[in-house]
Amino acid sequence: MVQPTDTSASTGPTAAGPASDTFEGPEFVADGGDWAEIAAEAERLGEERIVVNMGPVHPSTHGVLRVILELDGETVRELRLGTGYLHTGIEKNMEFRTWTQGVTFCTRMDYVAPFYQEVAYCLAVEKLLGVTDEVPERATLIRVLVMELNRIASHLVAIGTGGNELGATTMMTVAFRGREDILRIFERITGLRMNHAYVRPGGVAQDLPPGTTDYVRELLPNIRLSVKELQDLAQENPIFKLRQEKIGYVSLSAAMALGLTGPSVRAAGLPLDLRKSQPYCGYETYDFDVPTRDYSDSYNRTMVRFDECYESIKIVLQVLERIDKTPGPVMVADKKIAWPAQLSVGADGQGNSLEHIREIMSTSMESLIHHFKLVTEGFRVPAGQAHEAIEHPRGILGVHVVSDGGTRPYRAHFRDPSYSNLQSTAIMTEGGQLADVVVTLASIDPVLGGVDR
């Protein structure tokens, strides 16, 4: 039996979470499947409001997120979020690594959409280096290819896991089936399924393996089929609509005031997409639309993600044609920046080409010395600062990098959309039902690796 604790004389946060700076009255601590006991004890004491935790290790919190709820029966009166339980110190760690090694760190932040951190970071570093216009066209095309495939994979995870939390396990299995096809493409290109560190300042680590564009075209119909099957399961499903429509509503004015971006604000009717309004990587040359709806609730946010998957497929088909027609290098020509190694995906998924190793080990001592210094010490970046913003699957991702003229970042800071979007959780859920907190949080689609970085 869960025993209430009298905290009438206490100040500061309680064990169940801070409903206010000074919480008066009995406190109820939930340990798992003991909700019935808590409710019975609250009824016996005549208490109308209780404070409980959802998380920080709860399957409905999309990661290690603490949701502190003040409840009046099943109605949410107040919601507060507690972050920091997954803090990795990635931004601080990047200050102790070379500019190239920083990619290995930032790709691990939002692990559901790793290519976006890599691209945004590298675009900012290239601004500092002054080589933005020198990045080969083929490298830029490859960046667009992996980003748009990653957008589809990210949206599939958002929709599938959101359905699973409502008990629709089939939605998750269909979503992960489609994502699996995309991860196979990533593995073929980078050697890894996630945490790629493939995009590098100046270009990408290696060119596409032979036959990659044909392989992508071969799998795209399967990916489209998974998106369509998932949409058929959800779009007109009366149970799904009953749990999603008019749940977690936020007005456009409130969304803008709270810094909400991505599908959540596009569902409110604003076509805010940096690929259109502030193009990068040549997005202004692609034919695609920005899907919108006119009412930002959980249902419409899900539908916007479906629409965006189809638009991403359109972009992928266009970029595949351009890649086939665009031979050339995938790294800047400046040997002070470009790694001398010609990386190749081997049987172990990584490694340098054997031809390059033979050259630097047996014929060119200068190449060996340059390779060693560039890999261990890194290249120097002129003193200054730069900012880059791109359209992440969850919204606007901003990167601010500062250089003191050395081989490591003086500061690297990321404006992660998951962290910014979480501000809107309270306004979406307060006054609603406890069960709708799970639905609303899933529709925001936070990834805690990006929140606690």
Residue 41: pLDDT above 80? no
**16 and 100 housed in the same domain:** no
Residue 22: pLDDT above 70? no
* Range scoring the smallest mean pLDDT among 97-106, 273-282, 362-371, 381-390: 362-371
Residue 17, pLDDT score = 39
Which pLDDT tens digit goes with each residue over 104-136?
Answer: 999 999 999 999 999 999 999 999 999 999 999
The half-sphere exposure of 221 on its side-chain side, counting CA atoms within 13 A, is: 4
User: Average of pLDDT values for 135-142?
Assistant: 95
CATH of the domain at 299: 1.10.645.10
Answer yes or no: is 310 within a domain.
yes
Answer yes or no: is 231 within a domain.
yes
Torsion sign over Cα 146, 150, 152, 153: positive
* Range scoring the smallest mean pLDDT among 134-143, 192-201, 393-402: 192-201
Q: Are 107 and 119 in contact (CB under 8 A)?
A: no
**96 and 154 housed in the same domain:** yes
39-53, 240-254, 354-368 — which one is most confidently predicted on average?
A: 240-254
pLDDT > 90: percent of the chain: 60
Strand partners, 203: 200, 331
The domain boundary, picked from 82, 111, 141, lies at 82
**141 and 282 housed in the same domain:** yes
**205 and 310 housed in the same domain:** yes
pLDDT > 70: percent of the chain: 85
How far apart CA 46 and CA 69 sit, in angstroms, is 19
Residue 333, pLDDT score = 87
Backbone angles phi, psi at 27, to 5 degrees: -120, 140
Which pLDDT tens digit goes with each residue over 372-414?
Answer: 788 888 889 999 999 999 999 999 999 999 999 999 999 999 9
* DSSP state letters, 370-421: HHHHHHHT-----SEEEEEEEEETTEEEEEEEEE-SSSS-SEEEEE-HHHHH
Residue 343, pLDDT score = 55
Which pLDDT tens digit goes with each residue over 410-445?
Answer: 999 999 999 999 999 999 999 899 889 999 999 999
Residue 86, pLDDT score = 83
Amino acid at 424: S
Backbone angles phi, psi at 54, to 5 degrees: -115, 105
Answer yes or no: is 127 within a domain.
yes
Strands (E) across 149-210 are located at: 199-200, 203-204
Calculate helix-pair angle for 298-325, 212-234, nearest 10 degrees: 170
Answer yes or no: is 367 within a domain.
no
pLDDT grade for 28, boundaries at 50, 70 and 90: low
How far apart CA 315 and CA 214 sit, in angstroms, is 16
pLDDT grade for 8, boundaries at 50, 70 and 90: very low
User: Average of pLDDT values for 82-102?
Assistant: 90
User: Average of pLDDT values for 51-71?
Assistant: 81
Residue 298, pLDDT score = 93
How far apart CA 104 and CA 438 sit, in angstroms, is 32
- What does the DSSP 8-state code read for residue 343? B
Edge-first strand listing for the sheet containing 411-415? 384-392, 395-403, 411-415
User: How much is the mean pLDDT over the chain?
Assistant: 86
Answer yes or no: is 131 within a domain.
yes
Backbone angles phi, psi at 287, to 5 degrees: -95, 110
Q: Is 168 helix (H, G, I), strand (E, B) or coil?
A: coil
**101 and 247 housed in the same domain:** yes
Count of positions (residues) in the chain? 453
Residue 80: pLDDT above 80? yes
Q: Are 160 and 174 in contact (CB under 8 A)?
A: yes
Which pLDDT tens digit goes with each residue over 239-271?
Answer: 999 999 999 999 999 999 999 999 999 999 999
**16 and 68 housed in the same domain:** yes
Residue 359: pLDDT above 90? no
**70 and 105 housed in the same domain:** no
Domain that holds residue 180: 90-337+379-451
Which pLDDT tens digit goes with each residue over 287-318?
Answer: 999 999 999 999 999 999 999 999 999 999 99
**177 and 131 housed in the same domain:** yes
Residue 138: pLDDT above 90? yes
Q: Are 343 and 354 in contact (CB under 8 A)?
A: no
Tokens of 120: 């945004």
Number of domains the chain is built from: 2
Strand partners, 400: 387, 413
User: Average of pLDDT values for 134-148?
Assistant: 96
pLDDT grade for 63, boundaries at 50, 70 and 90: confident
Answer yes or no: is 360 within a domain.
no
The domain boundary, picked from 24, 48, 82, lies at 82
Find the Cα–Cα–Cα–Cα dihedral 319, 320, 326, 329, rounded to 10°: 90
Q: Are 162 and 447 in contact (CB under 8 A)?
A: no
Residue 269, pLDDT score = 93
Answer yes or no: is 53 within a domain.
yes
